[in-house]
Amino acid sequence: MKQLFLAMFVVLAILSVVAQVTKPSREFAGRTRIIWTTDDNPARQAQISIFDQQFPHLKLTIDPANNDMSKIIVQTMAGIGPDVIDCYNRMQLYTYYQAGILEDITDWAKEAGTTPDICWEAARENMMIEGRQYGFPTNPGPWVIFYNKDIFDKAGVPYPSGDWTWDEFVDVAKKLTLKEPGSRRNTTYGIMGYDIMEAIWQNGGSLYNKDGTRCVLDSPEAIEAAQWLMDLQFVHGCAPSPSEEEAMAAAGGWGQGIITLFDAGRLGMIRYGRWGLIVWRKNPKLRIGVCPLPYKKQKATTFVTRISVLNKKSPYKREAFNFMKFLASEDYGNQINDSADNLAPVKRLCYLDRFLHNPQYPQEDYNEVFRDEMACARSVELSKFSNPFVVDRIFRRYIDLMRNKEMTPVDAMTAAAKEINESIEEHVAKFPELQAEYRRLTEAR
């Protein structure tokens, strides 16, 4: 084992030296280059242009190929990591935090006015850990239902308006699932992309109990939600099964994912985020409407955002903090709203007429839905007593077993809860600092 660790150390050391030698120069025409690891969304060039204008002594450069978490941690520990790092979910944020590579920006943020209170309420717990601020959201938003007006018209179904229940939603989804005369094959499906965790929340359930010491996917609320979701496929036939998804892929139009299938007019409704409009705006024939997700006992949708954080080891971290000011600026927020790359992170910018009525896209008369649904947006549940990547892997495996009819919802959810609870005990056993609190909470029950 010692030889293995020694070999890994040597490899990482060599990679660090190579990275040090090949990394881009920090000097750019008399300006200091700030490196930002993010994706290569076309909107990035416009965002870079705004940053460069706001901070003329700096030059923002993206590194879209550097998105491996392990690589980023190794680079950062070696002192050659990027200055600004995008986290795509809370799991990444906590992993970087536990690796000790995040800069605590609490005091700088108070001084600059880039504190959590100017953001959406749902974003705040994504910026904070143990009462300290470590990042700023880039493009928050909720998941909603997009619908194809032409398919509604063809089925003779009125467009959804306002909140609706699971029963109302299923009734509409069934009517939107259409077949050609004389054919057994569906030409359209009513719904695709519904998330099981949202269904559990909407039915009053959760992933963990309140103190995070136990997974409760075996609760009646969670099991009923899983059954409802599977019934969309196997009872009502209004959502494609995995095999039907493969068949559609073979027929074309699926290769680029669910967003392309909606664009091709194969889905009456789709659960998606506002950023889908970046693609769908290119299709002037696609007539879109937007409405909230349905609910059973309470409204709920998943809050989604990237969070930008600073590299604690960066020699330019003070300069890089200007990126947080940029994210909180009106110019950046308006660019996010105008481009449909979700919602501006500063809440007040979504209460301007510019957000509700974009003159370039006058047909988009539904932006108020995205704003209103933020009131019921919930972050992905995490527990300090578990490894979120292990929990996610276990849960996803049982979801696949349900979708392939290899397990019933009650059996799958019961087994998932049991396995996740075992992983919690294994995780706590590895960290002595968690054991006393875990024992206190569990013994008090």
Distances (CA, A) of 11 to 6, 7, 76, 78, 378: 9, 6, 16, 13, 41
Nearest to 381 by CA among 176, 207, 245: 207
Q: Which residues pair with 301 in a beta bridge?
A: 377
Rg, C-alpha atoms of the chain: 23
Q: Residue 377: which H helix or E strand, with range?
A: strand 377-378
What are the DSSP E strand ranges found in 26-106?
27-28, 31-37, 58-62, 84-87
DSSP state for residue 141 in the 8-state scheme: E
Distances (CA, A) of 190 to 266, 331, 394, 429: 9, 39, 29, 46
Angle CA 317–323–329, to nearest 5: 150
Ordered per-residue pLDDT tens for the chain, 445 residues: 445 445 555 555 565 555 555 555 788 888 999 999 998 888 889 999 999 999 999 999 999 888 788 889 988 888 889 999 999 988 899 889 988 999 999 999 999 999 999 999 999 989 999 899 999 999 999 999 999 999 999 999 999 989 999 999 999 999 999 987 777 788 899 999 999 999 999 999 999 999 999 999 999 999 999 999 999 999 999 998 887 777 665 544 434 578 888 998 999 999 999 999 998 999 999 999 999 999 999 999 999 999 999 999 999 999 999 999 999 999 999 999 999 999 999 999 999 999 999 999 999 999 999 999 999 999 999 999 999 999 999 999 999 999 999 999 999 999 999 999 999 999 999 998 899 999 999 987 7
**Structural contact between residues 345 and 119, judged by C-beta atoms closer than 8 angstroms:** yes
> 278 CB contacts (<8 Å, ≥6 apart)?
41, 42, 43, 339, 340, 341
End-to-end CA distance of the chain: 41
Q: Report the C-alpha gap between 105 and 82 in whole angstroms.
A: 16
Q: Report the C-alpha gap between 254 and 245 in whole angstroms.
A: 8
Nearest to 23 by CA among 70, 83, 67, 68: 83
Q: Report the C-alpha gap between 309 and 94 in whole angstroms.
A: 11
